A and B are shown apart, each in its own frame.
Chain A
Amino acid sequence: MLTTDSLRFAIGRWAECLPRCADELNALDGDLGDGDLGANLIRAAGRLEEAAPQLPADVGLALLRCAQAFTSVSASTYGTLLATGLMAGARLTKGREAVPWTEISVLLEAALRAMMQRGQGQLGDKTVLDAVEAARSATAGLAAPAALLDAARGAIAQACDRLRDARPRQGRARIFGDKGIGRDDPGMVALLRLVECLQPTAAP
């Protein structure tokens, strides 16, 4: 079951592993944006770590606190989108102290819908939305955390492969047009690394 302790575990892993991905993410983002994606994620992980000891047992309220950690570090669209996804999950889990792992896919679906609405983005735009959709679809029906993470990681990596040669259609990368062709979307890669951080064997 997903509990607040599961969130604490994830936060601990991100705080430990994300710094090792920072240069890669900053560089990817620097090609198509302002180059602060890795730095912003590390700052968010720091805020999450500070908040971790006091997270409430209610999973929904704990996810809300996590969303606030993202919105407190930067006004970047990526941070706001991740926070939006977390809040969508928070609404579905509010009032519960344990959420079955089989609901992860449902939570991802709610997150995806909310993120699409907030950012006015579509699937196929080559953004983090495509990575969330890949994870949602791959995790449906799975009940074991290790299997969930494996499936999500594989699916996001595939989505990156599939869209690498597509032209970005949303956000700042869109403005760079053809320059985005042949490059991974920084937001998709960031989500991939976030998942990998949670896997002892795949962690960067």
Chain B
Amino acid sequence: MMKKILNEPRNYVAETLEGLCAAHPKYFKRTGAEGRVLVRPDAPVAGKVGIATGGGSGHLPVFTGYLGPGLADACAIGEVFSSPGVDLMADAIRAAHGGAGVLRLYGNYGGDNMNFDMAGEMVEFENIRTTTVRVTDDVASAGPDERPKRRGIAGLVYCYKIAGAKADTGADLDAVTATAQRAVDACRTVGVALTPCTVPAAGRPTFSLGEDEMEIGMGIHGEPGVRRGTLRAADEIAEEMLQMLLADRPLAAGDRVSVLCNSLGATPLEELYITYRYVARRLAGVGVTIVQPLVGRYATSMEMTGMSVTLFKLDEELEPLLLAPCDCPFLRI
């Protein structure tokens, strides 16, 4: 049976958003049809390139949480694991538009792509210029020669951070877009799942894994990964994940990276720090310096047990943008 702290499953998203805004009125305000667009209260910021995002519910703090100074401006919110509709996305774009155009920045998923493209075409009739950057950081979801097909997972957090910081510099839409794409290109993530989650309206787990099994590379909606096997020790899991990430984007002595150890929901901070400790040692061993590591719950799949590791390769443009100030309840620098 489904064991969740719930009222009516159909109110899951609405009640989540109500609570989120009640807890953080300084950061979030609801707008759009049925209050399904969240904006930072000072949006649109006049003269700044707007950043609109969106996606299904069930991943907090992604996507809704990363709104604020130095981050995104508006977010269209769908049902659990399903894309928000075109109208909501158009509303999010309008809410983010401060006169300098809007970057649509979101994870690469079929429904979101189609709907966000449509929304962009709609607001074109209102003379709002938009661009698109799709986050494609999940190395397990397609091979290196098919990077544009990869899904977006925890790397979204870095992309919001970088694009938001760039927009705050007063850069124009093309420059913010180029920098956001640069952030996507610098990001690699891989996840591991230990237990599934249950979509409230469905009432059943999205997949099943044996008592002693784990799946490397599983997506945040339970999409199949690259390898299922027996659960192993933390360091062995971290090593396998690091090898996948480094094979995809090698690092050399002297490189600087940020590392995100992310819980998919149920995995505790302790286990994330056990993993981070290994990753830090291992990267130090090859002469790579870690800057501004993030350890915690950043991109989740409700109560899924598991984690992801993201390596974000820095350069002379990305590092200052990563370290620039930002403020939301889930990320402060």
A residues near B (Cβ < 8 Å) are 60-61, 64, 67-68, 71-72, 75, 77, 80, 83-84, 87, 90-91, 94, 118-119
B269 lies within 8 A of chain A by Cβ: no
A45 to chain B: closest CB distance in Å?
Answer: 18
Give Cα A64 to B125, complex, Å. Answer: 8
Inter-subunit contact A83/B118 (CB<8 Å): yes
Write out the residue numbers on chain A whose beta carbons fall within 8 Å of the beta carbon of B111: 75
Write out the residue numbers on chain B whose beta carbons fall within 8 Å of the beta carbon of A118: 114, 117-118
A184 to chain B: closest CB distance in Å?
Answer: 25
Write out the residue numbers on chain A whose beta carbons fall within 8 Å of the beta carbon of B115: 75, 80
B residues near A (Cβ < 8 Å) are 82-83, 85-87, 111, 114-115, 117-118, 121-122, 125
Inter-subunit contact B125/A90 (CB<8 Å): yes
Write out the residue numbers on chain B whose beta carbons fall within 8 Å of the beta carbon of A60: 125
Inter-subunit contact B85/A75 (CB<8 Å): yes
Give Cα A90 to B125, complex, Å. Answer: 9
Give Cα A90 to B114, complex, Å. Answer: 18
Shortest 3 CB-CB contacts between residues of A and residues of B: A71-B86, A75-B85, A87-B121
Inter-subunit contact B83/A87 (CB<8 Å): no
B313 to chain A: closest CB distance in Å?
Answer: 31
Can you name 7 A-B pairs with beta carbons within 8 Å?
Answer: A68-B122, A75-B82, A75-B83, A75-B85, A83-B118, A118-B118, A119-B114
Write out the residue numbers on chain A whose beta carbons fall within 8 Å of the beta carbon of B118: 71, 80, 83-84, 87, 118
The residue of chain A having its C-beta at the shortest distance from the C-beta of B117 within the complex is A118
Inter-subunit contact B122/A64 (CB<8 Å): yes
B77 to chain A: closest CB distance in Å?
Answer: 13
A21 to chain B: closest CB distance in Å?
Answer: 25
Inter-subunit contact A80/B87 (CB<8 Å): no
Give Cα A85 to B115, complex, Å. Answer: 14
**Residue from A75, A77, A87 in contact with B122 in the complex, judged by beta carbons closer than 8 Å:** A87
A164 to chain B: closest CB distance in Å?
Answer: 28
Which interface residue of B87, B117, B118 has the most chain A CB atoms within 10 A? Answer: B118
The residue of chain A having its C-beta at the shortest distance from the C-beta of B85 within the complex is A75
Give Cα A60 to B86, complex, Å. Answer: 19
The residue of chain B having its C-beta at the shortest distance from the C-beta of A70 within the complex is B86
A187 to chain B: closest CB distance in Å?
Answer: 16
Write out the residue numbers on chain B whose beta carbons fall within 8 Å of the beta carbon of A90: 125
The residue of chain A having its C-beta at the shortest distance from the C-beta of B78 within the complex is A75
Write out the residue numbers on chain B whose beta carbons fall within 8 Å of the beta carbon of A94: 125
B108 to chain A: closest CB distance in Å?
Answer: 14
A76 to chain B: closest CB distance in Å?
Answer: 10
The residue of chain A having its C-beta at the shortest distance from the C-beta of B121 within the complex is A87
B86 to chain A: closest CB distance in Å?
Answer: 4
The residue of chain A having its C-beta at the shortest distance from the C-beta of B124 within the complex is A91
Known: A75-B83, A75-B111, A83-B86. A67 touches B122 (CB 8 A): yes
Write out the residue numbers on chain B whose beta carbons fall within 8 Å of the beta carbon of A77: 114
B62 to chain A: closest CB distance in Å?
Answer: 20
Write out the residue numbers on chain A whose beta carbons fall within 8 Å of the beta carbon of B86: 71, 75, 80, 83
A97 to chain B: closest CB distance in Å?
Answer: 16
Which interface residue of A61, A75, A94 has the most chain B CB atoms within 10 A? Answer: A75
Inter-subunit contact B122/A72 (CB<8 Å): no
Give Cα A94 to B122, complex, Å. Answer: 13
Write out the residue numbers on chain B whose beta carbons fall within 8 Å of the beta carbon of A68: 87, 122
B106 to chain A: closest CB distance in Å?
Answer: 15
Write out the residue numbers on chain A whose beta carbons fall within 8 Å of the beta carbon of B87: 68, 71-72
A7 to chain B: closest CB distance in Å?
Answer: 16
Q: A75-B85, A87-B122, A118-B118 are in contact. List 13 more A-B contacts (CB 8 A).
A: A61-B125, A64-B125, A67-B122, A68-B87, A68-B122, A71-B85, A72-B87, A75-B86, A80-B118, A84-B121, A87-B121, A91-B121, A94-B125
The residue of chain B having its C-beta at the shortest distance from the C-beta of A61 within the complex is B125
The residue of chain B having its C-beta at the shortest distance from the C-beta of A67 within the complex is B122
Write out the residue numbers on chain A whose beta carbons fall within 8 Å of the beta carbon of B82: 75
A121 to chain B: closest CB distance in Å?
Answer: 12
Give Cα A185 to B15, complex, Å. Answer: 40
A62 to chain B: closest CB distance in Å?
Answer: 11
Write out the residue numbers on chain B whose beta carbons fall within 8 Å of the beta carbon of A67: 122
A86 to chain B: closest CB distance in Å?
Answer: 10
Give Cα A195 to B122, complex, Å. Answer: 25
Inter-subunit contact B114/A80 (CB<8 Å): yes
Give Cα A28 to B85, complex, Å. Answer: 25
B305 to chain A: closest CB distance in Å?
Answer: 30
Write out the residue numbers on chain A whose beta carbons fall within 8 Å of the beta carbon of B117: 118
Write out the residue numbers on chain A whose beta carbons fall within 8 Å of the beta carbon of B83: 75
Give Cα A68 to B115, complex, Å. Answer: 12
Give Cα A60 to B82, complex, Å. Answer: 31
Give Cα A196 to B86, complex, Å. Answer: 29
A157 to chain B: closest CB distance in Å?
Answer: 29
Give Cα A118 to B111, complex, Å. Answer: 11
